[in-house]
Structure 1
Amino acid sequence: MAEAAQPRPLGTAFAPPPPLWKHFTPENLKKLEEIKKEASKGEDGKPKKKSWSPTELRALDLPSELQLLVPPAIPTSGHYSVFGELQSLSTALPSLKDQGITQLYPSSPSTETDQQALSEPSRPLNHAYYLLKISKSLLLNFLEFVGVLSIAPEQFESKVEDLRNLFINAHHLLNLYRPHQARESLIMMMEEQLSRTREEIEQMDKLKVEITSVLERLEADGRAAQSPAPEADDDDGKKSTSEQKAIEDAQLLWDLLDGKIEG
């Protein structure tokens, strides 16, 4: 009865925010800004410091309602809790042995004692081979689990433990490739960024060539216009060939620039 009376901790997929969020009011934020401005004033009375680190803020004599507004120090070791589960700050993947779980694949290539194995060079551990073996074992153990449930359901615990162990081993093997996955993802992102930059440079070079060619034609037409031009025929009243070409090139330049700006 005593155990039943004790409240059970509830675990939810979306945990509520910590109670300190109630201290993040506009009034408290304004007070914190005023304290930072006052503390950063120099001898001339003008604020000289624009940004404050959490360590510098914690060194100030803040009221109790404002201390919770300062971010805590970043932990460098130990553990933290996420949705009720204890997580380690270490980025190193713990071994299955350290977690008290039976490892179903070798940590290194198996060493044989016979002469044939000793004469062969050692090969790296083939994770894909053991993942395939574990996958087949999962299917077989699941069929055995269904058979146990149909014959003696009370003996299900051992098969459930076998399935759990197989899943954990497969998950641990996949986690060994996480650093490689992160490295390859970063390489892919950098290659995409480099490709986009090259395309932009190529487009800018093409535009430069087009504008340069038009400007060269305009320059040539301007020089031709400054030279003595032949008298125009008064009978037909048409413009000279050089003037007409200069107008067409100018119109072409404006059309080109308008098209690039709109595009």
Structure 2
Amino acid sequence: MAEPGRPLNTAFAPPPPLWKYFTPENLQRLEDIKKEASKGEDGRPKKKEWPPTELRSLTLPPELRFLVPPEIPKEQYSVFGEVQTLSTALPSLEEQGITQLYPSSPKPGANGEPASQPTQPLNHAYYLLKISKSLLLNFLEFVGILSVAPDQFEPKVEDIRNLFINAHHLLNLYRPHQARESLIMMMEEQLARSREEIQQMDKLKEELNGVLDQLAAEGADVGATILSDNEDDTKAVKPDERVQEDSRLLWDILDDKLDG
């Protein structure tokens, strides 16, 4: 049951009531107002891009102002009744008024200097495991309370809620490391693909050089003239025809190598 004065948040909230103003008639009215506002000295409308800031400066009826995109939020926004912040800094549990069940991460000293006493980095996995075990124990205690005194369940539910919030906050603290590791993995995969492509190109280059050397060894010289078998010895094949034949043979070999 929702608390007094607090709106009920649902996973699939109903659309805001302003949806009824998005009609073809209102859209056409807005286009007419933009054409009227973009008229020049000759009285003809000019083609103009209307950013939201200029649209908000126009004199529009109240029902048409809902068609203008709102300003981009700078600090926070609301989603399904929940206020979300645009800041990438993760607020601490202490700032949210929640009891923290694990030690805080080591903080640097004043002016960015390292702490005077060396401290161990926070072991996320260790404390996540401890919280998971505490959740199992608290759930068993919760079941026992329900079987003995069901009206005394609220403190235990609050303990379980606090454990879940601490576990979720620990996971969020681990997100930057997860993002770095994911980026490293993507770059390593891209590097491996590039190296494989380079190796395949080097291999194809070696095969093509071998084919060219073989053609040169067999006397496939472009400027050579070869006597035709079906004609007199005094009549030679034209150099242009020999070039075309050699080029056709070379392309056939290249196609075979590429297809293979």
> Under TM normalisation by the shorter chain, which class is it?
0.5 to 0.7
1:73-106: CA deviation from partner (whole Å, max 9, x where unpaired): 11223x4332233333433222222222211112
Determine the C-alpha separation between the residues in 1 that align with 2:135 and 2:58. Answer: 59
2:73 aligned with 1:82, yes or no? no
2:45 aligned with 1:54, yes or no? no
Structure number with higher helix proportion: 1
Give the count of matched residue pairs: 236
Determine the C-alpha separation between the residues in 1 that align with 2:83 and 2:12. Answer: 17
In structure 2, give the amino acid aligned to 1:60: L
In structure 1, give the amino acid aligned to 2:84: Q
Mapping 1:214-229, distance limit 5 Å: 222-224=222-224, 227=225, 229=226
Determine the C-alpha separation between the residues in 1 that align with 2:136 and 2:197. Answer: 52
In structure 2, give the amino acid aligned to 1:90: S
Query: SS of 1:223's equivalent?
Result: coil
Determine the C-alpha separation between the residues in 2 that align with 1:138 and 1:41. Answer: 68
Structure 1 residue 40: Cα displacement:
5.5
Structure 1 residue 24: Cα displacement:
3.3
1:160 maps to which of 157, 162, 175: 157
Structure 1 residue 186: Cα displacement:
3.9
2:6 aligned with 1:15, yes or no? no
RMSD (Å) for aligned C-alpha atoms: 4.6
Determine the C-alpha separation between the residues in 2 that align with 1:32 and 1:209. Answer: 67
1:146-195: CA deviation from partner (whole Å, max 9, x where unpaired): 33333333332222222221111111111111233233334444554555
Determine the C-alpha separation between the residues in 1 that align with 2:11 and 2:27. Answer: 30
Partner of 1:143: 140
Mapping 1:226-245, distance limit 5 Å: 227=225, 229-232=226-229
Mapping 1:35-184, distance limit 5 Å: 36=34, 47=46, 49=48, 51-77=49-75, 79-108=76-105, 121-184=118-181
Query: SS of 2:83's equivalent?
Result: strand
Residues 221 and 246 of structure 1 are in contact (CA less than 8 Å); yes or no, is this contact kept in structure 2? no
Determine the C-alpha separation between the residues in 2 that align with 1:84 and 1:137. Answer: 31
Residues 138 and 163 of structure 1 are in contact (CA less than 8 Å); yes or no, is this contact kept in structure 2? yes
Residues 222 and 246 of structure 1 are in contact (CA less than 8 Å); yes or no, is this contact kept in structure 2? no
Determine the C-alpha separation between the residues in 1 that align with 2:35 and 2:210. Answer: 58
Determine the C-alpha separation between the residues in 1 that align with 2:210 and 2:39. Answer: 59
Change in Cα spacing, 1:21 to 1:204, as seen in structure 2 (3 Å) is farther
In structure 1, give the amino acid aligned to 2:53: T
Extract unaligned runs of 5+ from structure 1.
Answer: 1-5, 110-119
Determine the C-alpha separation between the residues in 1 that align with 2:201 and 2:26. Answer: 51
Residues 39 and 45 of structure 2 are in contact (CA less than 8 Å); yes or no, is this contact kept in structure 1? yes
What's the TM-score, normalizing by structure 2?
0.65
Query: SS of 1:154's equivalent?
Result: helix
Partner of 2:109: none
Extract unaligned runs of 5+ from structure 2.
Answer: 107-116
Residues 21 and 67 of structure 2 are in contact (CA less than 8 Å); yes or no, is this contact kept in structure 1? yes
Structure 1 residue 214: Cα displacement:
8.1
Residues 23 and 69 of structure 1 are in contact (CA less than 8 Å); yes or no, is this contact kept in structure 2? yes
In structure 2, give the amino acid aligned to 1:56: E
Determine the C-alpha separation between the residues in 1 that align with 2:197 and 2:34. Answer: 45
What's the TM-score, normalizing by structure 1?
0.64
